[in-house]
Amino acid sequence: MHTDPSVTIRRVDYTPPVFRVETVDLVFDLDPACTRVHASLEVRSTIGAAATLALDGAGLTLVELRLDGALLAPGRYTLDDTTLTIPDCPPRARVELVTEISPERNTALEGLYVSAGNFFTQCEAQGFRRITFFPDRPDVMARYQVTLRAARAAFPVLLSNGNLVEQGECGAERPGWHWARWEDPFPKPSYLFALVAGHFAVTEQRISTRSGRDALLQVWVKPGHEARSAHAMESLVRAIRWDEERFGLELDLERFMIVAVDDFNMGAMENKGLNIFNTKYVFAEPRIATDSDFNAVESVVGHEYFHNWTGNRVTCRDWFQLTLKEGLTVFRDQEFSADLRAAQAGGAQAAASARAVQRIDDVRVLRAAQFPEDAGPMAHPVRPESYREINNFYTVTVYEKGAEVVRMLQTLVGVAGFRRGIELYFARHDGQAVTCDDFVAAIADANGVELSQFARWYARPGTPVLEVSSDYDAVRREFALTVRQQGASVAPLHIPFAVGLVAPDGRDVPLHLAGTKPSTAPAASSATAETLILDVRKNEQRFVFTDVPAGCVPSLLRNFSAPVIVAADDSDDTLAFLAGHDADPFNRWEAAQHLALRAVLTILAGTAPPTAAQRLLEVFARTVVDASLDAAFREQVIALPPEAVLAEHMELIDPVALRAARHALRAELARALAPMWHDTWHALADPAPYRRDAASTSRRTLRNAALAYWVATGAPPAFAAAAAQCRDADNMTDRIAALHVLVNSPAPQRAQALAAFAAEFHDEPLVLDKWFAAQATMHRQSDDPPVLERVRELAQHPAFSIRNPNRVRALFGSFCHGNAAEFHAADGSGYDFWVEQVLALDAINPQAAARIARAFERWPKFTPQRRDAMRSALRRVADQDGLSAGVREIVERSLAQKVPT
């Protein structure tokens, strides 16, 4: 692991490996206290001559080292904290190593570790060097054979990558031990290595691929939890079929395995043929999982399976190219989810609404997390130029913005053209470690288009801003749009800009572009709309549409065709018109969001009666009762922008004032439409048992939104209804929604509801995570003590463990990242808590600590008292000796920011 926090790794300094590894033979003698690893590496010099072989290592005890069978004395090699170096290694050689590690002491959860008595691995990005010495970089791809040996009674299941080729008993040599040998037929980088050993139960299903090959699918879980993995198995089958149909890509192994573990730093890991998952993304049954949880399981299972090709068969040359696999695969899992939602909806209009809901969900994440990241100290291009700690760059920029860059490529060349590009990409690079440039070249060459200007997206940090103005020539019946890319001093980006024109009667106008023709296919959102993709390539461009009737309103950036901010001076009336009539569902939602933003900002400013609030109220009143719209889409329209999004529009962030303004708007919408919320909640009741079909899921979504607004009126019957739903509902979706409503209200039933919920689910860790998070994010009522007091109490709860990443995210992460008004209390108590937890976590699990450390990235944008206190807290952490590289990089980059004048 790169651990020196003072060293910066730069993309331009990349050099190819001096030695490649052709085959790896690993033998593990598994013992929690001391595992012995025997490694045999067949290495080959890339320069055709003897050279120095450098092997990465961290926290290893070297027991023995041999070169071509000869035992090496200490003078023949050098060993420090990070590297084992063998000078004058022959151009072809066999390196044999014996190392020892202590998995049970590995609290960082990188490399080989123990969770609940079972063995697991996590090797991305640089965990393999914690297992044995190796050139631990993604462009060293080798074929692996792995033998696992362990006590059968303690570890009856032995799994690794690839195909099981042999297994048996160890015999007299090790009584009571058994072994299993696995071979992976495909070369892979070390970060994709995996092993699992312990007590597990399995759910199996056999399938035939499109070409007729048989394959075994397995989901391994803690015994007794097999039924909870059924949805994960169904999702895996759907992902396999979708990838065959959409991209012509088949499962390439005899078996594909998923294993669930409670202690895991990430969501899941795509190790070749042996995916290791956080239980959060495997377990799903109505009693413990919400509809959103079911969707998340499906999405993450799809994501990790899709990595089998986009990430495993073709991987990244170096970690700067991380978005090559992650951005592309996020895009693929987003498309997978959108296609499934549309297929389940039934009917063209319902399918369009379902796709819009998925698109809105994707953009919500981008705006709430990635846009602020683009504006903060950790801002970086989707292909970073440098890093100190690579784990800090598993970010929403690399993942979600990276997915938007890939989506733009599909928009530019069309769905069929994008598939041609993917096919060429694999034809050229299967089995290789390549770059983002290689991917863009394949898309360009497969479609005969020039994408060199587009490639700037990979190198440009920040969120582009487009200034858009319009004018209309009534005599010539011409409507003109002028698009300016802010920042004339930098080279312009190539931006696919989807637009439509909405006539006064609410219908789209057919578009005819004067003098030229758009070079691309219609946007994905244009099933019922006339939409053109404008190629914005210059700092300023003017587009003229002919034969346009008077009174048309432009619909800009349809389906969010590019990850940009559009600055357009639309009136409140125009936004209300678009919210009610735009044929592009995404832009209907977008218009309502802009009205809500204006209403909140007007309340904050206290300058004039918020006409935007009145228009928003009218939009809500029309939308909620419009049965022609999907219920889940209606819920999206009436959801106010989150505080994190609103805060980015404030000159100086005052979280307490922001929450008060947002609450004021919400209360006004609740009171003014109280009968509608009451009636909607009652009308959408379903006495039938829980079902997970699309209609039922959408119904629950809108009904719970109506309940939240009804409770916001302060009506005692609403409190009673929420308490009854929390107590009696037959599914977690309705129960946790009601619990959130209660804890964020003055309802007298909230304490009893929290206690009853905890008592019922005391033995369900994933449900208790929801219980922790609900309290960490609660909006304090006037007579409540600070939420921080509750968080400190919950940190002492028997179910909480600072060593479990899920618990840390649920309690500390929810408070520091998800409850701004309480975390940023004026007395600075939240900042003292942050210092305590960052330092405590850093000694246990640096990745978990680094996530909490990022809570201060926007400190210069806060009010003076808060930013001074945050800067002081950052300095307190920075002054500590022995910080991990990840935490030090974050706090030092945060401190390097300048306070705006």
Q: Which helix (H) or strand (E) holds 716?
A: helix 716-728
Q: For the chain, report the end-to-end CA distance as a whole number of angstroms.
A: 40
**Mean pLDDT, to the nearest integer, of 196-214?**
98
Q: What is the pLDDT of residue 520?
A: 40
pLDDT tens digits, 477-501? 999 999 999 986 789 999 999 999 9
Q: What is the pLDDT of residue 540?
A: 97
Q: What is the pLDDT of residue 350?
A: 82
Pairwise pLDDT comparison (72 vs 526), residue with the higher score: 72
Question: How does residue 349 score in pLDDT terms, banded at 50, 70 and 90?
Answer: confident
Q: How far apart are CA 238 and CA 276, in angstroms?
A: 19
The partner residues of 260 in beta bridges, in order of sequence, read 277
* Phi-psi group of 19: left, alpha or beta (phi > 0 → left; psi -120 to 50 → alpha; rest → beta): beta
Report residue 863: phi and psi, to 5°.
-60, 155
**Mean pLDDT, to the nearest integer, of 841-867?**
97
Q: What is the pLDDT of residue 6?
A: 62
The partner residues of 473 in beta bridges, in order of sequence, read 478
Q: How far apart are CA 865 and CA 826, in angstroms?
A: 8
Q: For the sheet containing 478-485, what is the strand order?
A: 540-545, 478-485, 465-473, 565-567
Question: How does residue 650 score in pLDDT terms, banded at 50, 70 and 90?
Answer: very high
Residue 446 has pLDDT above 90, yes or no: yes
Radius of gyration of the chain from its Cα atoms, rounded to whole angstroms: 28
Question: Active-site positions?
Answer: 304
pLDDT tens digits, 574-586? 999 999 999 999 9
Pairwise pLDDT comparison (263 vs 347), residue with the higher score: 263
pLDDT above 70 as % of the chain: 98
Q: What is the pLDDT of residue 330?
A: 98
pLDDT tens digits, 280-321? 999 999 999 999 999 999 999 999 999 999 999 999 999 999
Pairwise pLDDT comparison (520 vs 513), residue with the higher score: 513
Which amino acid belongs to residue 383?
A: R
Contact 306, 333 (CB under 8 A): yes
Q: How far apart are CA 215 and CA 252, in angstroms?
A: 9
Residue 783 has pLDDT above 50, yes or no: yes
Residue 366 has pLDDT above 70, yes or no: yes
Q: Give 431's contacts (C-beta < 8 A, 6+ positions apart).
A: 141, 186, 187, 313, 314
pTM value? 0.97
Q: How many residues does the chain have?
A: 901
Chain-wide mean pLDDT for the chain? Answer: 96
Q: What is the pLDDT of residue 4?
A: 55
**Torsion angle, CA of 372/375/381/387, rounded to 10 degrees?**
-90
pLDDT tens digits, 218-258? 999 999 999 999 999 999 999 999 999 999 999 999 999 99
Residue 152 has pLDDT above 60, yes or no: yes
Element counts in the chain: helices (H) and strands (E): 28, 32
Strands (E), 373-494: 386-387, 433-434, 465-473, 478-485
